[in-house]
Each structure stands twice: as structure tokens, then as C-alpha cells.
Structure 1
């Protein structure tokens, strides 16, 4: 088993580890800080031993690809919960929370505005419009984050080709 720990991992193995870490975070086994640290370590790992160390305190029930140290199984094994994979393609959890809070604040303020306006007989002064300013800022942040995530995903997808070009240029 020790010699398996020294075998170099492929990009697909790293991606399987990242998917397993995402599933662990979605299950609540890792907080955002732990997930971020382990994600960086997963992308920097070069051997199966380094990847396996990321999952020492996590159950082997997830995708199990890294825990078994099987290169072919790691690449071919699907994510345990397809719904979790679909959710992870959307917004980051922090933005989901911010949008939920903003939506709740807007709903409460619209309700208060409507009830006070009906009680006073005046629905002229639409003061909840000011809550659209933080909403616009949140929208801009969301668009920016999504653009950054898309750019990073494209760079990750091109990284194996870049390494190959560098190797060819060295020769």
C-alpha cells in the first residue's frame, strides 16, 4: 500500500478529489475555510498519498475514488449524488446566502410598505426602492464571481495542453 501512495496522480484523479471535497462540503462535513484549504492542496498534490491525506477524517462513502487509490476507477467513477453535482454548478454558497437574505429583507420591507400605505390610505411614497441599490451591487458581484469562475474553469481545462506544449518546447 505504501508504494501506491507514491504513484503520481492525473488531472482526472485531482478532479475526482475536488468533486469528493465538494460533496463533503455540501453534506456539511467541511466548512468553507476547510474546503478552500483542502481544495488548494488537492490541486497541488502530485501523489495518491497527498490526495488520500485530504480525506483522513472524512467517511469513505462519497465517491471513494481517492480513498481506494485506483487511477482507472477514479476517472470513471461518477459522483455519488448527481443532484449535488448540479447544485455545485450554480452560485457559490456565500452568494446563495446573500441573495436569500436580500430577498427576505425586500419581502419584509415591501410588506411593511404595503400595510402602512393601505392603513394610511397612501401608496405614493415607494421607499423600498432604496433596497434595490444593495440588490444591484449584489447582482454586480454575482456576475463578477461567475465570470471569474468561468475563466478559472477554462484555464483548468487548458492546463494539461499548456504543460504538453511546455514539454515539447523544452526538447
Structure 2
């Protein structure tokens, strides 16, 4: 896992820890580590400071060819790209569903009361929530535009 040409007492970088984390994830995915062992080793990993400490985390596991594994930063970017609009889409969908249910309840109450519809209280549910979502959407769009 770790290049044996380096001294065990030398300080490890964040990139070194990311590579070992990738190795641990691969071993966990292959069933060599239980979820408890995996979590424990990850905690130890991010507390590690030297190459020697990193090497002990994988010393009882077979070697994994890291060149086959994508870089941690590349995986993070893929996840970010996949969820870029997903969270807002889900939030707006939940808002629309809740608003629709509230309006349906309001309509049923009015229809069963001889079409004497009550005050449109669903506006108090969907209004503030919608404003918060709209501000979040606009601010998020502006932030993404600056990052590009």
C-alpha cells in the first residue's frame, strides 16, 4: 500500500490518507472487513500522522492495485455532479406534494360543507416554505455560476 522506500516515521499527507481510505473501501466492498472494522480503521486512518501508522491499517490485508481505483477527488466530483440539482429537485417535489395534499384537504372540507370554502389556509403552509426554497434555489444558482 505505502511505498516502502519512505521511512515509517515520515509524515503522511492527506493524499496518502485518501489512498489508504480507497484501499480500505475496496477491502470492505470485497467483504474482507466488517462495517465495524471498516469504521474503526477509518477513524484510525484520519488520526494517523505517519506512514508507519498508515501501513499498520492495511498490514493484514492483501495488496490492492490503486491504479485500478479512481482517485478519491474524482469520485467526490462524480457524486457532486450526480447530486448537483438532485437535492433541490427533491425539496421542490416534497413542497409540491405537501402543498397539493393541503389544497386537497381544503377542497374536501369546502365541498363537504356545501361548497362553503374556508379561509385558504394552505397558503400559510406553502407560502413561507416556498419562499425559503426559492431563495435557496436562487442563491445556489448564483453560487454555482461564480464557481464556474
TM-score category, normalised to shorter length: 0.3 to 0.5
Compare CA radii of gyration and give the structure with the larger one. Answer: 2
